[in-house]
Amino acid sequence: MKTYRAEANAELEFSFPDDLPWHELDQQGIRLPQQMKFVDLVIERDQDVLLVEIKDPSISRCPDDERQRYFKRLADNTVLKEELTPKARDSYTFLHLMERDGKPIKFVVLIGLDAFDHEKQKALLAGFKDRLFADIKCETDTPWRRQHIADCVVLSVDIWNKTFADWPVKRIPATATSAQAAA
């Protein structure tokens, strides 16, 4: 199994089977087109390509007031319109221009919501996927004529682990992260 973290100090750690073709799209230190926003990961399966974006407002070093502001931005669709939809569009455009869009492309958003109570999580996730997918399909006055994203899904860590049981994600506490960095 290969492990992945979106950033060196990220607390969410993914474990992927060795034979799963995936790569980091929003990779630091390599030349990428300017002004484009990219998802964290691209996972290529036999039947489709998954664009995976990771958002983690539950990271332990996040102050509670900042976490609450981010939750509000999630709830009022600011994150959806300003971050998620542009990342889906730009990542698709990049794959299209690189001739890597021969399979249906699906957008997967993982949101680390474990710092919030179950009712807040449930309220946030209710309808979020539908609002996101509608925004992806229609960013202008008229809908896109070409469907570039076949579907999308928004998951908490728990739901990710049920949906993608072979690709588990776990939270590595900050103390463990610090100890690993020191090793």
pLDDT in tens, 113-157: 999 999 999 999 999 999 999 999 999 999 999 999 999 999 999
**Sequence-ordered list of residues with C-beta below 8 angstroms from that of 17, at least 6 positions apart, any chain:** 1, 2, 166, 167
The secondary element (H helix, E strand) that includes residue 13 is strand 12-16
Nearest to 160 by CA among 53, 64, 57: 53
Would you say 85 and 140 are in contact if contact means Cβ atoms under 8 Å apart?
no
Q: At what angle do helices 118-125 and 128-137 cross, to 10 degrees?
A: 30
Quote the pTM value.
Answer: 0.92
Neighbours of 110 (CB within 10 A): 25
Nearest to 133 by CA among 61, 77, 68, 177: 77
Residue of higher predicted confidence among 182 and 33 = 33
pLDDT in tens, 87-120: 999 999 999 999 999 999 999 999 999 999 999 9
Beta bridge partners of 43: 22, 50
